Structure formats: C-alpha cells, structure tokens
Amino acid sequence: MNFYTEFYHGFSAHLNKSAIVLNDGTSWTYLDLHQSSGALAQKLRELGVSKGGRVSVQVNKSVQAVILYLACLRLGAVFHPMNPAYTLSELSFFLRDASPDLMVCRPEAEFELQDLMSELELSCVTLGSSGDGSLFENVTAQSDFETVDCEPDEAASLLYSSGTTGTPKGIVLSHQNLDANASVLVDAWGFSSDDVLLHALPIFHVHGLFVALGCAFKCGASMRWLPAYDVVEVRKALAESTVMMGVPTHYVRLLSDPEFGNRDVKTMRLFVSGSAPLLTETFEQFEQRTGHRILERYGMTETNMNTSNPLMGERRPGTVGPPLPGVSVKVVGTSEESVPAGEIGDLLVKGDNVFKTYWQLPDKNAESFTEDGYFRTGDKALIDADGYVSIVGREKDMIISGGLNVYPKEIESLIDRWPGVMESGVIGVPHQDFGEAVVAVLVLDGTADLDEAGLDASLKSKLANFKLPKRYITIDELPRNTMGKVGKAALRGQYAELFSD
C-alpha cells in the first residue's frame, strides 16, 4: 500500500476538479497535484532521497509544500515538517535527531543554515511561499512516476512531540496509521467530493496536515486555501465553503468580530474544533451567533484522531464525543483497571490510528504502551454512561497555547541559567484568545536584579515565538507539594485571573 495511492483512489474520478483554490482565484486541479507530485518525487530521487529516507522541511504554507508532502509519500520517503517559527537551535536538535537525506528550507533562511548544513553534511534546497526556490527548478508537470509500494507499517511521516523532560521525541506515523484515520474521518464527518473545506491551519501538524488534507484528498473535495489565519479572509472564504476545521482560538477570533454571524455561514454544513479544549462558552456563543453546534473531536500527534462528537447525533459541549470506529478507549486508575463510568482516570487508546514506535527510542516505546497494547495518552479523562469522553486535565506538564504545545521544562531550564535566577515554574493560565497563555514565575537568588528585557531577548533567540512567556512574575518562593515538587496546580490557581480583563 501507499497512503498516496489511497488518496489517488479517492480523487481519481475528479482529476479535472479544483483541489485547492487560493485567495486570488488561482487553482490547482487534482491532475495538477498528481502530475507535479510525480515530477517532484522524481527530482527528490535524483537529489538522493530514497525509500525510508527522511526529508526535513521548514517552509511557509503553500500549495507547493503540499506537493512536496505528496511527493515524499509517493517516493516512500518520510516527510518531516517543522514549524517555520523554530529557531536555529531548535532546528539543530531536530535535524541531528532525524538525520534526514535532504533539508528543504525557505530561501531567506538558506544563508543562516549554511554552517549547520555543512556540519551535518546535509544537502539543502529552498522553497518559497509562491513555489520559488531551487526545489522546483526544472520540475516539469508531466511525469509518469510510479508511486512506490510500501508495507502498511512503513513510515510515512515523522513529527516531534515532547514529554515531561522537554526533550522532543520523534513519532513515526505509518502509511496505515494515516490511511486508517483519514478513512474513518471521511465517513464520520460525511465528507464527499461536493465539499469545500476551508483550510486556514498550518500544515506542519497533524490537524492541518493529516486531518484536513486527509479528508479532502480521500474523497476529491476542494479546499479553499488561506496561507494563515486572518479573520477577514476567513469570513470571505466561509462564503464559498461547506466545512471548516480549526483550533478553539480560530473560533474565539471569529466571535470577537461583532459583524460575524448567520450571513457568513449560509453555505456551511460543519464546523470542527480540536487540538485544545473548546470552552462551553465558545460553543454556546457560536451556536447563538450562527445556529451551528461546533463538532469537537480529540486527537494527538501519536494517534491522530481518537474520539469525535457525532455528525448526526447530539454534540455535547465540554465533551469530545465517543470513540471513532476502530478506536478503543478506556479510562483506568492506578492499577490500570478501567474505572466506572463518570470517574476520572488516565485515558488509554488503541487502534490502527495509533503509532507503533518513537524514532530511535526503544525504551520510550515500552513505557508508553500497556501490556495489552494501549497507548498512554497522558490525558486525564472520564467516559460518561453514554460513552462520551471528556478530557478533564493532563498528567503531562504541557501548555496548549493557540493549539500549539509548549513544554514548561524546556523554558524553565533556559530561565534557570539566567543571571540572578534561582529557579522558575512555567505555567499555562487561562487566556481569552490563546486558551492558555505561557507565564513564567521566577524566584531570584539575590545576586542580581532581574533584567527582564534581557531574559526575554535571550529566550527569543533560542525558542520559537509562541513559546515565549507572555508575562514574567517574581515571587519569594515556589509552592511545593509534600514530595518537594513544584506545585504547578497551586501556581495556576494563584494566577488564574492574570489575563481576565
């Protein structure tokens, strides 16, 4: 099998239809995507990428970046996308770990990356927002490239996610993982070739890459393509769309526009939310304003989508719905026995959607799965008597800001090295726009006053912008639990109102 071949089955009856339509009306048909991805796969092969080889990618969102993803699939290569916001030091970690055969970067980043590329003896080609750069040079649309056959378990993509240590782990997603989930979602959400999906998500994470593109390509739907999330542009695009997928911040921002309402959603049949908790308040306001009940679903990088509120049945705010077909979920207590309905415990999942292995970390595999093959999500949840799952918290020390994950440890270890700082606790506190905002609470050692601007600039040079604390707070002592661990829950409680006005 090859995930791309499954796409091809889905869209081959619609080859002359628009697959992707941009703001300015430019469009790519499915035939364009098929031919260009074949031609690019051929070029990747000439550049030394072979089956199983990694292609690391840090580029802006563009149709050509989608074609690159499809080309990697067709070649049997492993697509490794990265957030363009990552700094050189973050990138350096990922490239050392992934050891790719090829790096694709933005033309403007090529110079800055030169030293790292020579140190890693890595070839680098460029791809700009409009398809400019060396990657597509001499790539002609005509191609008879034959999509490479893969075993279902062979790697299709490599994405990173961190645990409590703040050190990112590579998650290997197979052709089967991706296809199993995309097939289930097309059915669960009633996707067809008549749909127009509003795509305003980034394409370096599961949500915009596998969930959104997967649903569209599996059935030959069209996509209305936005390079970034902008409320004015989204409102215009909604008028030509039938489905939108977004993180809660996307819905909060739509609602913050007083003009947004019924008139914007006349052609829409479905709004899907995920990647972070959707507040009941947002769900209700959205229904009042548009008449639509947002469908909330739950997933993660390691598993793609696990549960979803129903398309036809009752969508319950504050829940992420029952498990999707083919996915088993259970909530267990400390003895790993399922707890009764309505009780909170650790959420475990199992199914063809769930990854099998971390990249080159066999020890982590063992601790991440139970003996009977369930993956430990690190989320705290309950399942009610009707089978609806609610995510009530996280065991993992992770902040989700605007749908992007931030790992406190990574930031704390940098802050703790700053002159005058004895220790720090980084927390997420409620924020109207981002859901949670990153806040750093510091204890000074008395040797120097805090140079907050200097600390912020130093963090900025090392961390992607969305990880930067929105506020620094200095206190005398961090709260600790009986084990001596920093009491993050107490800190979160103390600063819960920080952004409330």
Is 345 one of the binding residues for ligand MLC (CB under 6 A)?
no
**Counting contacts by CB under 6 A, is residue 378 touching ligand MLC?**
no
Looking only at residues 300 through 339 of this chain, which bind ligand AMP when binding is defined by CB under 6 A?
Answer: 300-301, 320
Smallest distance, Å, CB 405 to ligand AMP? 4
Q: Return the residue of 274, 322, 345, 408 that touches ligand MLC, per CB under 6 A.
A: 274
- The partner in contact with residue 202, picked from ligand MLC, ligand AMP, none with C-beta cut-offs of 5 to 8 angstroms by kind, is ligand MLC
Q: In this structure, are residues 403 and 428 in contact, taking their beta carbons and an 8 Å threshold?
A: no
The sign of the torsion formed by the CA atoms of 367, 368, 373, 379 equals positive
* Sole binder of ligand AMP in the list 136, 210, 298, 407 (CB under 6 A): 298
Write each residue from 196 to 225 as x if it is in contact with ligand AMP (CB under 6 A), else as -, in one continuous string: ----------x-------------------
Task: Yes or no: say if 65 and 57 are a contact pair by the CB < 8 Å rule.
Answer: yes
* Torsion sign over Cα 26, 32, 36, 39: negative
Question: Mind giving me the DSSP string for 312-356?
Answer: SS---TT--BSBPTTEEEEEE-TTSPBPPTT--EEEEEEETTS--
Query: Is 229 near ligand MLC (CB under 6 A)?
Result: yes
Based on the shown chain and the rule CB under 6 A, indicate whether residue 207 belongs to the binding site for ligand MLC: yes
Q: Whole-number minimum distance, CB 275 to ligand MLC, in Å?
A: 4
Least distance to ligand MLC, CB of residue 317, Å: 17
Residue 37's Cβ-count burial label (10 Å; 0-12, 13-18, 19+) is buried
Is residue 299 near ligand AMP by the rule CB under 6 A? yes
Q: How far is the CB of 279 from ligand AMP (least distance, A)?
A: 10
**Closest alpha carbon to 300 in 325, 280, 320:** 320
Complex with ligand AMP: residue 279 or 498, whichever CB lies closer: 279
CA quadruple 130, 136, 138, 141: dihedral positive or negative?
negative
- The answer to the question of residue 206 lying near ligand MLC (CB under 6 A) is yes
- How many other C-beta atoms lie within 10 A of the C-beta of residue 124? 21
Q: Is there a contact between 21 and 122 (Cβ–Cβ < 8 Å)?
A: no
Of 453, 332, 345, 326, the C-alpha closest to 395 is 345
Beta strands 295-300; 243-246: pairing state:
unpaired
At 129, list the tokens.
């927002």
Residue whose C-beta lies closest to ligand MLC: 402
Query: Is residue 408 a contact point for ligand MLC (CB under 6 A)?
Result: no
Residue 20 binding: pick among ligand AMP, ligand MLC, none (C-beta 5-8 Å cut-off by kind): none
Task: Tell whether residue 208 is a contact of ligand MLC (CB under 6 A).
Answer: yes
The three state secondary structure string of 294-318 is: CEEEEEECCCEEEEECCCCCCCCCC
Q: Are 101 and 49 spatial neighbours (Cβ–Cβ below 8 Å)?
A: yes
Beta bridge partners of 427: 439
Contact segment (CB under 6 A) with ligand MLC among 28-36, 65-73, 355-363, 395-403 equals: 395-403
**From 173, 244, 247, 320, residue interacting with ligand MLC (rule: CB under 6 A):** 247
Q: In angstroms, what is the minimal distance from the CB of 398 to ligand AMP? A: 7
Q: Rounded to an integer, what distance in angstroms lies between the CA atom of residue 21 and that of residue 30?
A: 11
Give the shortest CB-298-to-ligand AMP separation in angstroms.
Answer: 4
Q: Interface with ligand AMP by CB under 6 A: which range of 60-68, 275-283, 333-341, 476-484?
A: 275-283
Taking CB under 6 A as the criterion, the residue among 39, 182, 331, 400 binding ligand AMP is 400
Residue 152 sits at the vertex; the CA angle it makes with 149 and 157, to the nearest 5 degrees, is 85
Residue for token pair 């989508």: 305
Site for ligand AMP contains 45 (CB under 6 A): no
* Side chain identity at residue 345, one-letter code: G
DSSP-derived 3-state class of residue 12: helix
Q: Name the residue nearer to ligand MLC (CB basis): 175 or 297.
A: 297
Residue 379 binds what, of ligand AMP, ligand MLC, none (CB under 5 to 8 Å, by partner type)?
ligand AMP
Q: Does 434 bind ligand MLC (CB under 6 A)?
A: yes
Stretch that binds ligand AMP, among 124-132, 285-293, 294-302, 464-472 (CB under 6 A): 294-302
Nearest to ligand MLC of 183, 401 (CB atom): 401
Shorter beta-carbon distance to ligand AMP: residue 36 or 307 = 307
Return the residue of 37, 249, 405, 424 that touches ligand AMP, per CB under 6 A. 405
Please report whether residue 289 would count as binding ligand AMP according to CB under 6 A.
Answer: no
Site for ligand AMP contains 276 (CB under 6 A): yes
Cα distance between residue 424 and residue 440, in whole Å: 7
Question: Residue 397 has which token pair?
Answer: 């020390």
Minimum CB separation from ligand MLC for residue 109, in Å? 16
CA distance 107 to 129: 9
- Residues of this chain that bind ligand AMP (CB under 6 A): 161, 206, 274-277, 296, 298-301, 320, 377, 379, 391, 394, 400, 405
